[in-house]
Chain A
Amino acid sequence: MIFKNRYHIGILRISFLLKIFCACIILNASQSKAQFLQSKSGNITFFSEAPIENIEASSNSVIALINSENGEIAIKVFLRSFEFEKALMQEHFNENYVESDKYPSANFKGEIVDFKGLSKLQKKEFSIKGFLDLHGVKKERTVIAKLVELNNGNLQLQSNFKIACKDHDIKIPKILWKNIAEEIEVSLVIPLKPKEL
């Protein structure tokens, strides 16, 4: 290609810049729509089954982030956001067991095992491997989860697993073993939306 004068070269330069810029904007837009899935209103419910009483608590403000490019996943819940049937249970949970003054949130950080894109995950169970940080103790965990497509087209992450109190140094007084289970059943339902930047 032969440039006839500086004027033409100038035009080409500008159009080249524009192309890069547009490409970046398109890339950006596709990223911001697709790269991350997020939630601020996930639900975590846990259940303790013991001879004297069953205890159930639930939080509806679970925060979650999934990187749809590489399968990284992060989940966080403020322990104070758990609501119990009885207010006194809630106070004891926060003050005596999880000590939410010292350790305000429970955090999970990990990644989906053998991740090959979100579309490959649907309608079957998969593993998530990572670290659960609760009550100041980090524990490596692998949990089974699944992604369900809702009617509105959004995805929902679901999982059930158990947490042993002693794994996280949560001590139950001997006289209360009939009131509180040593293993707590946890169920997690997180509706996900594409993250908007």
Chain B
Amino acid sequence: MKKITFCIVLFQLSLFAQDMDEMMNQFSEGNDFEVEATYKSTWLVLSQTNETQNAKDLNFWIAHRFGDIGGEFGGSSTLYGLDVATDLYIGFDYGITDHLTVGIGRSKYNETYNGLIKYKLLRQSDKMPVSVTLFDQLAWITREEFSNNEFNQESDRISNFFQAVITRKFSPGLSLMLSPGLLMRPDAQLLSAEDQNNLFALSMGGRLKLFKRISLLVDYTLVEGLGREANEELYNPLGIGIEFETGGHVFSLNFQNSQYIIANNFIPNTSKSWTDGGVRFGFAISRNFSLGKKKNN
């Protein structure tokens, strides 16, 4: 009988002794926040990141690519490419919701207008290992024809690029991504008779934070059928950049072998190489405007 009494009393004591810390821990279970700020902007150097604009935010983006630093077209006569602008891009992105962004832009190259749509399909959290964002970009070449009947119909001027951006923020300082994509071009935009309409591309890259507001960016795109016959030799685009974030502004200073800024242009047409002086300097500036309040509490 003493034993039973003892057991009951012990049971009571264990209840008394329940620790406040333990109880607080029980309370805070089940909090699963989505990972945020995998990247600081919607572009890495050349490729898209998984980031979209927040709801009601408008983002203004300017990017510039200079000429070849070395080689035949570079050197001191063009001040290492700074006299030349191979491409310029001005674009606006707007967040319809926190997960859906639409944008328009215009490139100097081929006087290309583009419309884009970006949707955050999966968001990394404790339960979800990666973020996946779907990206689709339609590009429309508006320049005059170089030769008669270059573009027989308006649809010959249009190309479409679709990509699934798969990324993971491994730590506050390191995010990596792998993005398979498909570019579809009409016959009129092919570089030669043997060129392919559909090109698969696999982008890989990441961000490494060097300091709190300064990061190193790298991206590399493997393009299918590089050996395909074209007038010039084609290369896989590689971009390396440094990104500065100053609260609302993002600056990126970068180097890349691709002359062009949007994927529809750089995936099929990158004809410069890092090895023979075809690398160029470029920069991008973005400014974020909040057009509305996020939530009414």
Contacts and interface: CB of A to CB of B under 8 A. Distances in A.
B36 A65 contact: no
A101 B173 CA distance: 10
Contacts of B16: 31
B15 A13 contact: no
Given A78-B31, A101-B172, A88 B8 contact: no
A80 B33 contact: yes
A20 B294 contact: no
Given A87-B57, A92-B247, A17 B294 contact: no
Contact of A24 (B12, B247, B297): B12
24 contacts: A17-B4, A24-B9, A24-B12, A27-B12, A28-B15, A31-B15, A36-B23, A58-B297, A65-B24, A65-B27, A67-B20, A72-B20, A74-B20, A76-B27, A78-B28, A78-B33, A83-B297, A87-B54, A88-B57, A91-B36, A92-B247, A94-B37, A96-B247, A195-B23
B288 interface: yes
A87 B8 contact: no
**Considering residues A87, A96, A101, which has the most beta carbons from chain B within 10 angstroms of its beta carbon?**
A87
A11 interface: no
A86 B290 contact: yes
B224 to A, nearest CB: 36
A20 B8 contact: yes
Given A13-B1, A91-B36, A40 B12 contact: no
Contacts of B171: 101
Contact of B37 (A86, A95, A109, A195): A95
B127 interface: no
B290 A65 contact: no
A31 B16 CA distance: 8
Nearest to A63: B27
B213 to A, nearest CB: 7
Interface string A75-87: 0101011011111
Nearest to A61: B31
Contacts of B55: 87
Interface in A133-153: none
A28 B247 contact: no
Contact of A96 (B12, B23, B98, B212): B212
A182 B295 CA distance: 26
Interface residues of A, number: 45
Contacts of A17: 1, 4-5
Contacts of A195: 23
B293 A85 contact: yes
Interface in A169-197: 175-176, 179, 195, 197
A24 B23 CA distance: 22
B8 A21 contact: yes
Contacts of B5: 17, 20
3 tightest Cβ-Cβ pairs between the two chains A and B: A87-B54, A80-B33, A101-B172
Given A61-B31, A175-B246, 20 more contacts: A20-B8, A20-B9, A24-B11, A28-B12, A63-B27, A74-B24, A76-B27, A81-B31, A85-B293, A85-B294, A85-B295, A87-B98, A87-B294, A88-B57, A88-B288, A88-B290, A96-B213, A96-B247, A101-B171, A197-B15
Interface string B270-290: 000000000000000000101
A102 interface: yes
Contacts of B227: none
A110 B247 CA distance: 36
Contacts of B246: 175
B144 interface: no
Contacts of B293: 85-86
Contacts of A38: 27
A83 B98 CA distance: 14
A105 B27 CA distance: 13
Nearest to A21: B8
Contacts of B297: 58, 83
Contacts of A49: none
B35 to A, nearest CB: 8
B72 interface: no
Contacts of B54: 87-88
Contact of B23 (A28, A61, A65): A65
